[in-house]
Amino acid sequence: MKKILYIWKDAYPWDIRVQKVCESLANNNYEVHLLSRYRKGLSKYQNINNLHVYRAGFGLPSALTQPIQGNPVWDNAIEFYIRKIKPDLLIVREILLGISVGRFAKKYGIPVIMDMAEHYPAAMRDFKKYNTNSLLRFAVHKLKLPDRIEKASVKLMDGIIVVCGEQIQRLHGFYGYPIDNIQIVHNTVSLHQFEKQLHIPFSNGIRILHHGWMSAEKSLTNLIKGFQSSLRISPDLRLILAGTGECEDEYKKLAEKEIQSGTI
């Protein structure tokens, strides 16, 4: 049975795309190992539904386990588990650890692909923490460090997984990356994960449901405010926002304000 080592920059559980990718690989007779970030309360190793989960930086404070290029905590963990597991393929999620994983892949002669779930440099420029902190803002917006990291990471990859066709054109246009080495894997819903249905009493009406991460780069502000115009057209509408994220409290306050003003 061939082995795959998936490197994920954050804690696991939980990330829906990591889960779906790893489950799909396991269901197709691969032995799947996941190197993730340690968070307080998690063990050094855990078997989750036949997924072998290891935690980089076990027992260390989060300040020392930042998933950045050159962090010895991650470099040591990546190399240790490559030598321990002897994987047939490496998969690295996103760009932050791409250079480290790519270099170790070349050192040990292992093919490596990147699971690029989004245009990460653009997303980072919309994250609140990279706009409110002056030092981080300078690094991300002025120096464009994410773009430089992405460029260096992409060059080390034998293949890249993206979520849409626009990413294929961007990677080929910006970096000259071969189109034939890029494959689309969409972010789709796994219906079996919804064991319980959401029941909201509302007869003879239409429900509009938004489900997902509530962050600045996917602003729902206009959607909430613009719902007033929709109600003028059809009062039998209801807007449901399901999810969490850095903007959750902001959207709750905005929704309460719109409710109080009689908008929704």
pTM comes to: 0.81
Structure tokens at 150: 């992405």
The predicted model gives 15-28 an average pLDDT of 93
pLDDT at site 201: 60
Whole-angstrom CA distances from 111 to 4, 16, 81, 136, 151 are 10, 24, 15, 33, 18
pLDDT at 264 over 80: no
pLDDT band at 202 (very low <50, low <70, confident <90, very high): low
* Residue in the block written with tokens 């998936």: 6
- Whether the per-residue pLDDT at 105 is higher than 90: the answer is yes
pLDDT of 69 higher than 60: yes
Q: Which residue has the higher pLDDT, 196 or 240?
A: 240
- Compute the distance between CA of residue 69 and CA of residue 149 in angstroms, rounded to an integer: 8
Residue 42 CB neighbour total at 10 angstroms:
16
Sheet holding 89-93, edge to edge: 45-48, 51-56, 31-37, 3-7, 89-93, 112-115, 159-162, 182-184
Average confidence (pLDDT) over 187-208: 66
Cβ distance 109 to 90 under 8 Å? no
Distance of CA 235 to the CA centre of its chain: 36
What is the percent of the chain where pLDDT is above 70?
90
Residue-averaged pLDDT of the chain: 89
* Amino acid, single-letter form, for residue 23: E
| Predicted local confidence at residue 42, as pLDDT | 97
The residues, ordered by sequence, that sit 6+ positions from 219 with a Cβ below 8 Å of its Cβ are: 247
DSSP three-state, residue 59: coil
Strands 45-48 and 51-56: antiparallel
Closest CA to 9 of 43, 38, 30, 33: 38
Q: Is the pLDDT of residue 119 over 90?
A: yes
Over residues 253-260, mean pLDDT: 76
**Residues 120-171 pLDDT 10s:** 999 899 888 899 999 999 999 999 999 999 999 999 999 999 999 999 999 9
E-assigned strand segments in 84-191: 89-93, 112-115, 159-162, 182-184
Mean pLDDT throughout 190-203? 61
pLDDT greater than 70 at residue 199 = no
Q: If you search the block for the tokens 């190793």, which residue do you land on?
A: 45
- Residue 41 has a pLDDT of 95
Structure confidence by residue, pLDDT tens digits, 31-46: 999 999 999 999 999 9
Phi and psi angles of residue 251, each rounded to the nearest 5 degrees, phi first? -70, -35
Q: How high is the pLDDT of residue 232?
A: 67
Q: Tell me if residue 109 falls in helix, strand or coil.
A: coil
- Indicate if the pLDDT at residue 215 is higher than 90: no
Determine the Cα–Cα distance for residues 27 and 49; give it in Å rounded to an integer: 11
Look at residue 175 in the predicted model and tell me its pLDDT: 97
**C-alpha–C-alpha distance, residues 131 and 160, integer Å:** 29
pLDDT, residue 140, reads 96
